[in-house]
Amino acid sequence: MGTGFRTPLLDTFRRGEVSREIKMLAARGALAPRAHEQVMLLVELVADPEPEIRLVAEETIAAIPRQALEGFLARSDASATLREFFAARGIQSAAIPAADSDEPLIDRSGPEDPQVGPEASVPEAADKQGTLQRLTSMTVAARMKVALKGTREERAILIRDPNRMVSVSVLSSPKVNESELEGFAKMANVSDEVLRIIGHTRAWVKNYGIASALARNPKTPVAVALNLVQRLKERDRKLISLDRNAQEPLKIAVRKRLIKGNKE
């Protein structure tokens, strides 16, 4: 469904790159941390090829408190397409929109789901190795939930998770900020997909620190880095031109910009 609302996690679902276990978690309303993302995942999953997933998603939609859903549909950020979807199910927008809150409309986390949030955050004095071991022992679905709702320390670990669904979930967390994103953009041990998503998110690369970190990271897909060359300051272009690890097409592009700048 084309609503204009996108997150890295939603895009992964729309491309069909999600396991049955993760789909079922989202279908029962236990995955997305934001109301908009939760509703959109449910809308996607009621059209899933697997009957059981469709049924669970429909049951979750039916379980959302009617007043909360109607208030959400009245919000200015709820698309006309989304309103039409629910109107076909007899659910109309409320006269008064709900407050612009990111809280999910329904939380159906089960006892097997990890408890994350401020009340379960790792203490500051906790051993980072202990946090790593705890996360490593979790299932993929559990790590995704922590990536979406956990602490900054947990996100810093999970952004490097070998499972792409987990690292993408970090980028969909409502808690992630530009300072963290700049740190991720500098990492040489994250997946190409993480760097590609950051580079293709216009709101993020407007931040010069993020854009320059991506361009200077040898792990960044060359097409993403090339798109950022024009925005770079001369100092950063010079650093790339002298970097032995920089990809050759990128070095050629920055040298051309440097020569052009000297002539102007």
Nearest to 238 by CA among 261, 256, 255: 255
Q: What pLDDT, on the 0 to 100 scale, is given for residue 261?
A: 64
Cα separation of 259 and 241, whole Å? 12
Give per-residue burial for 76-103: e unless 16+ CB within 10 Å, then b. eebbeebbebbeeeebebbeebbeeeee
Q: What pLDDT, on the 0 to 100 scale, is given for residue 116?
A: 47
Return the percentage of the chain with pLDDT > 70, whole number.
Answer: 89
**Dihedral sign from CA coordinates of 28, 29, 32, 36:** positive
Contact in structure between 106 and 34 (CB atoms under 8 Å): no
Q: What pLDDT, on the 0 to 100 scale, is given for residue 109?
A: 65
Cα separation of 72 and 233, whole Å? 43
Reply yes or no on whether the pLDDT at 92 is more than 50.
yes
Residues 22-47: what's their mean pLDDT? 90
| Tens-digit pLDDT profile for residues 183-233 | 999 999 999 999 999 999 999 999 999 999 999 999 999 999 999 999 999
Amino acid at 153: E
| Tens-digit pLDDT profile for residues 98-142 | 987 778 898 876 544 554 444 344 444 446 678 888 998 998 988
Judged by average pLDDT, the poorest of 66-75, 103-112, 145-154, 159-168 is 103-112
